Amino acid sequence: MKISIHQPAGFNEIGGRSNNEDSIYPAPGKATISDRLFMVCDGVGGEHKGEVASFLACKHIGEFFSQTGEVDVSKAFVQKAVDTAREAFIETEKNDPETAGMATTLTLLYFDDSGAILAHLGDSRIYHIRNGKVIFQTKDHKWVNELVESGVITEAQATQHPQRNVITKVITASRSDEADYMQISDIQAGDFFFLCSDGVLEQLYDDLLEYHLRDNPDNHPEPIEILEAIKTECAHQTNDNFSAYLIRIESVMQQKVVEEKVNEKVVNAVTPEPVISQRPLRKPRGVLFGLITFAGIFCSGLIYHFVRSEKQAQKAFFESKVDVNEVDTAQVKIPARAIDVQEIDN
């Protein structure tokens, strides 16, 4: 498929912090309708130079994509891009001890001929919105989420848990975390993709996001206008940096499949089940024709035999003066092996 996008809109705000540890890609004000790669990263660590981590992640992952050209963006490809950023972290920490322990979250969106490719680490988030409804969102890599899944605490308790801000996956020098990877092939004109750091989520709940992206037939605001409204919601109300990208799908053109590609990254594709007809099986037409032919020949022979018998009977009548009323025609029966063609066709 060929996906065209509207002019992307993004912001990268300091919020209630003294420094901005968020980074977005492309840089603020640099995105165009030709761009296919978008990222939002939230640096972790404060004194551990989170702003350096988020910047390096955007820089090196962006360069990895641009330098490799048109390739199959598989899960392995994305992980290699993430590992390239991690290698940059290792090198930076060697040269600048103050950056030791730096880390960052990652949300990544990439458009190709197969649809939208998403990858993420940490608690920054990606939404897919259609007709004012969230139809997909990434799952935060948080410790409290693991506790909820294991039944240790409830979702309500997770919001007040003392370790609610502990994230379990990041890009960092000390370990190699595997990014969650998915592909979305069900994309329609008018859909939105929204990437954001957790600072946005302090004020923007799902229902409020849906409100801003609702389908309004009387008013079709530009993505930049929508994002300005979201930015206003967050300004002066969040204690964290807040950053986001909003991309609206302008059009989707389906292309003919030249060759079948089979790999692990197809998420939405479904292999059709074989359809079994509920009608009774029909006999092959060749057999049917043979049976009809045989029945015709047999009936012809029967008629010939009957006519000949009639002539002999008439001859006997004139010779022996037998009364024709004594001839019982009911004794001429249809052979049992004759097949009703209508029954075969049904």
Instruction: Please check whether residue 27 is in contact with residue 48, taking contact to mean a CB–CB distance below 8 angstroms.
Output: no
Closest CA to 31 of 69, 2, 62: 62
pLDDT at 292: 52
pLDDT at 246: 98
Domain boundaries, the chain: 2-253, 285-345
Q: In this structure, how many other beta carbons lie within 10 angstroms of the beta carbon of residue 149?
A: 10
Token duo for residue 313: 């009977």
Question: Given its phi and psi angles, is residue 52 left (phi above 0), alpha (psi -120 to 50 degrees) or beta?
Answer: alpha
Separation between Cα atoms, residue 104 and residue 123, nearest integer Å: 10
pLDDT at 216: 63
Separation between Cα atoms, residue 259 and residue 198, nearest integer Å: 41
Nearest-5° angle of CA 278, CA 279, CA 281?
Answer: 115
Paired with 176 in beta bridges are: 171
Separation between Cα atoms, residue 222 and residue 9, nearest integer Å: 9
Separation between Cα atoms, residue 291 and residue 314, nearest integer Å: 34
Separation between Cα atoms, residue 23 and residue 28, nearest integer Å: 9
pLDDT at 316: 43
**pLDDT < 50 positions in the chain:** 258-289, 303, 306-307, 310-311, 313-346
CATH topology of domain 2-253: Phosphatase 2c; domain 1 (3.60.40)
pLDDT at 256: 62
pLDDT at 8: 98
pTM given for the model? 0.73
